[in-house]
Amino acid sequence: MRKLSIIGMPMDLGQMRRGVDMGPSAIRYAGINERLKPLFDEIHDMGDIPIGRPEVVIDKESNLRNLALVAEKSTLLAEKVDEVIQSGSFPLVLGGDHSIAIGTLAGVSKHYSNLGVIWYDAHGDLNTAETSPSGNIHGMPLAASLGIGHHSLTDIGGYAPKIKPENVVIIGARALDEGEKILIKEKGIKVYTMHEIDRLGMAKVMEETIAYLKDRTDGVHLSLDLDGLDPIDAPGVGTPVMGGISYRESHLAMEMLEEARIITSAEFVEVNPILDEKNKTARAAVELMGSLFGEKLL
């Protein structure tokens, strides 16, 4: 019995641009339930984690934006994801900005000894309070999940780290801050920048990623930021970076992950309908989910 549970996380607390809190609604409007229904025996849309309309608060000690609130809401998400996995269902989380991954991974990784992570993103999201140029937590979730950063973020769920650096693969990177580059080299994190994608081709990148993760992990989480795609194909994101992964390359990546049967949880984040063109980015997200979960052309 193949079950899917959809959790909306309409959080925009990790950055400054309004509208990304409407991401889960935009994805639902783009027809996620209808698209995925033929691929599962049972789909349960659990609605949205309540976020409310809190005011922006800068933490005096760390200078991080909305630190306490992000920690509080991430804990709620972690509990919900944990509950879904315990029920034998596949957790699919809809963002919201990428800071939501702190909560998702806190809920997922307690069920695995060696959780792998594919971070499909233009950015590394490996900043800390010390290295972040902005103080925006959506640039920190991968670092926090590795146990690096403010304890309020690293200790969600009561344990740290959630993942090991050797079990992470970043795909699509093309905007890395200096502190992130140092951390990548220091920790030996595997990264396929756009240079490698252009040079090797997406098929080779995915073959290598799957081979790399398959033997060393007992589950793999896909964290897909829509800004990993080129802004031509996904304009509705808060931090677009030119020269990204194409729509077709992304479909191939999802199809290859589905064939490999390694993905055990997923999240799609940073859809901002306010910045979008006729819900194009949310539609792209839903179409990529179709490929990830087994939709076939023939």
Which residues belong to the active site?
Answer: 98, 121, 123, 125, 138, 225, 227, 270
Task: Please work out, in degrees rounded to the nearest 5, the angle formed at the alpha carbon of residue 81 by the alpha carbons of 151 and 288.
Answer: 110
Angle between helices 280-292 and 247-260 in degrees, nearest 10:
30
Query: End-to-end CA distance of the chain, in Å?
Result: 23
Residues sharing a CB contact under 8 Å with residue 298, sequence separation 6 or more, in sequence order: none
271 vs 25: CA distance, rounded Å: 10
Round to whole Å and give the CA distance between 88 and 100: 22
Q: Which residue has the tokens 């970043």?
A: 170
- Show the tokens assigned to 219: 């589950």
Place of tokens 């935009």: 26
Q: Please name the residues in contact with 49: beta carbons below 8 A apart, sequence gap of 6 or more.
A: 7, 8, 9, 10, 11, 73, 76, 77, 80
Q: Burial-class residue 190 by CB neighbours within 10 Å (0-12, 13-18, 19+).
A: middle
The two structure tokens encoding residue 241: 């970076």
